[in-house]
Each structure stands twice: as structure tokens, then as C-alpha cells.
Amino acid sequence: MIPFLDMKSVYAELKPELDAAYHRVMESGWFVLGKEVEAFEAEYAAFCGTKHCVGLANGLEALELVLRAWDLGPGDEVIVPSNTYIATWLAISAVGATIVPVEPTPGGPNIDPDRIAAAITRRTKAIMPVHLYGEPADMEAIGALAARHGLKVVEDVAQAQGAKVRGRRTGALGDAGAHSFFPSKNIGAFGDGGAVTTDDDALAERLRVLRNYGSRVKYVNLERGYNSRLDEMQAAFLRVRLAKLDEWNERRRLVAARYDDKLAGIAGLGLPRVPQWAEPVWHLYVVRTKRRADLVKALEKRGIGSLIHYPIPPHLQQAYAELGLPKGSYPLAEELAEAVLSLPMGPHMPLDAVDEVANVIRETLTG
């Protein structure tokens, strides 16, 4: 049996540190907005290379609150990948702004900068690139476009904590970076969590107000805010996870390199292609094949987990039916949705398990 993601080994490896964090918070008697959140914010900002980190309740609200803090709303357009998890789109609709999807590079997964220029209008206010599967989007090209047109850039870093573009971390490559600490992410909490990283003092301050009912001073409300706070227990756990993030990402890199090696040269199997300027963190290892159904069945028979990220692109979801974007509107995103398959991946995956998965794939597709 090879699980898609081995979550139990996370606790097994970090038990003494996580248990100590639990006891520290329980004994402190303080559970929301305190020393642990402050310490995690400082440590995570230092890790990303930004001036500020603001801890929030989850990744979706991290994206949404950045747009709110920039006062984006009805009439404003936000450019977003057609090929992404629906949460990226939900943040834009939550503030009432207009979603402007842009197709990925051929083979994907990330937004194609060459197609962004054609989508920019006088109403465009922001670009929201996603570093899908832990592979950085082309932030240099996106940054250049944003500068030329006076647009804000908010990175969706939910799948790419620790990834780099030319040595600089994701989350520090735009005006703001929105992070998710959902348990399965590269740095995951044991529950929900999120954060925004930024160098912008005013943005950080506004986010601190927005996350706490619109209040800076207790019972004095400056605006209608949210309750979107990272809690002390999750922050304490995240400090333990952060200390391991680079090391665990490195272990993911070894798994990915082994897949690259063992899956090379199989006809009809597309492997991830990493641009030379990018250091991905392999949140997922995603292959592409027209024979996905056969492959899933063969893997399942051998007790090997696999998942599809994502089977239905956002524009074809019922949730966005009112946008009136029929099948064929975003053919590259649709093509990827039909072909992608995520193989088992994680910092606890043994390399001989990678070999076993690769053997089943080779047998199935070449046999």
C-alpha cells in the first residue's frame, strides 16, 4: 500500500516538539492573537524574506482580505489563471470584483505571461498568479507587466511555501503573498490556517485590522471587518513545521528527481517541466496522459493512491454557471483537467515506493 500522502508520519517524526508546543499553549491560558502568533509571524516573514507576515484563518481569506485591503470591488477586474483551484477565483468573487481568466502555458500548469497583456483593460487592478503544484509562476514576466500597467500582484502561495525564483522565495515576489496552512500543504497546520506576507507597511496594518472585526483597539471599530485569525495553537504547531520546511521540501525534491528518472522516455506520458529559473517545492508531482483512467485503475489495483488536481476547471463548475463560460471557453485548462494525474508525493515517501509506482506506470502504458 502506498498512500497518496502520508500524514501520520508528520506527527510521528515531530511528536516531541508538537507535544511541547501543545503543552506550552494549554498552560499559557491564551488562545487567540498572542505570543505564538507574533513569533510565527516574525519567523515566517524572515523565512520568506518579507518585512511583514500577518497570520489569518485560512488561505482563501488571505487572498480575499488582500483584495479587500486594496479596496477592490464591483467594476474592478482581477486577472487569474483559468487553470487553478477554485479558491483563487472565490476570493475575487467574494469582494464582488470581476474574474478575468487567463490560460496556462502549453502543458501548464501556470498562467502564461504572454497571454496576460491581451487581458489587461482600463478596469484591470490586479494580477493573481498561482504557483500551482509548488512550481513558481513566471514572476519576472508578470512583475514587468504589472509595473508597466500599474497593477498590483498578489501571489497565491498555497501550494508553494519555500519555492524560489532566482533565489528569492515565493510570497516575496509580488505586492503580497497569500499562504494556506491547510494540513496537506507543504507547511501544514493541524487544522486551518493562513497568512499574508508583504513588505507594505500599510497593507500589513490594514490586514491586522480586517482580521479582527475591523478593530485595532479593543471595542473601537474602524471598519466592518472579519473574524479571520490564526490561533495560538496552530501558530505554535506551525513554528515546529517551519523549522523543518526546507529539509522536508528537499526530501520532496529527491522523490521528484526519482520520478523524473524512473518515468523518463515513456511514450504518451508528460512529465513536469521545470524552467531553469525556478526552484519548485513539489507540493504535487503531476503527470499528463490520455490514458488516465487505465492508469488510475492499475495503480488502485496495486494499492497505490493517486488524485486529480483538478478534474473540473473553475469556469465549468456549477458555482460559476452565471458567468456563462461554456465548454471550450478555456481549452488549455480543459485539456489539462482531462489529462493530469497526481502521483504519491511527500517528505515521508521512501524512494523504493517511487520505483514501485513508476514500474506500474511503465507496465500499464507500455504493456
Ligand X SMILES: *Cc1c(COP(=O)(O)O)cnc(C)c1O
Return residues touching ligand X (CB under 6 A). 58-60, 84-85, 87-88, 130, 156, 158-159, 180, 182, 192, 194
Q: Which residue number, 94 or 240, has a Cβ lying nearer to ligand X?
A: 94
Residue 3 grid coordinates: 498512500
Q: Which amino acid is at 296?
A: V
64 versus 358: smaller Cβ distance to ligand X = 64
Closest approach of ligand X to the CB of residue 167, in Å: 23
Q: Are 66 and 200 in contact (CB under 8 A)?
A: no
Q: Which residues pair with 101 in a beta bridge?
A: 80
Please, which residue, 179 or 208, has the CB nearer to ligand X? 179
Q: Which is nearer to ligand X, 85 or 320 (CB)?
A: 85
Residue among 129 and 225 whose Cβ is closer to ligand X: 129
Rounded to the nearest whole angstrom, what is the least distance from the CB of residue 90 to ligand X in the complex? 8
CB of residue 192 vs ligand X: minimum separation in angstroms? 6
Q: Give the separation between CA 268 and CA 181, rounded to whole angstroms.
A: 35
Position of minimal CB gap to ligand X: 59
Smaller CB separation from ligand X, 206 or 283: 283
Of 296, 292, 300, 304, whose CA–CA distance to 340 is shortest? 292
For residue 250, the one-letter residue type is E
Distance, CA of 41 to CA of 43 (rounded, Å): 6
Query: Least distance from C-beta 132 to ligand X, angstroms?
Result: 6
Torsion angle of C-alpha atoms 221, 35, 179, 11, degrees rounded to 10: -140
Smallest distance from ligand X to CB 88, Å: 5
Q: How far apart are CA 161 and CA 171, in angstroms?
A: 8
Query: Least distance to ligand X from the beta carbon of 12, Å?
Result: 24
Output the smallest distance, CB 160 to ligand X, in A: 9
Instruction: Output the smallest distance, CB 130 to ligand X, in A.
Output: 5
Q: Report how far residue 48's alpha carbon sits from residue 361's, in angstroms, rounded to the nearest whole number.
A: 37
Q: Which is nearer to ligand X, 61 or 232 (CB)?
A: 61
Dump the DSSP string for 103-143: PBPTT-SSB-HHHHGGG--TTEEEE--B-GGGPPP-HHHHH
Of the pair 134, 263, the CB lying nearest ligand X is at: 134
* Ramachandran sector of residue 35 (left: φ over 0; alpha: ψ -120 to 50; beta: rest): alpha
Return d(Cα 287, Cα 270) in angstroms, integer.
5
Residue 223 in grid coordinates = 471598519
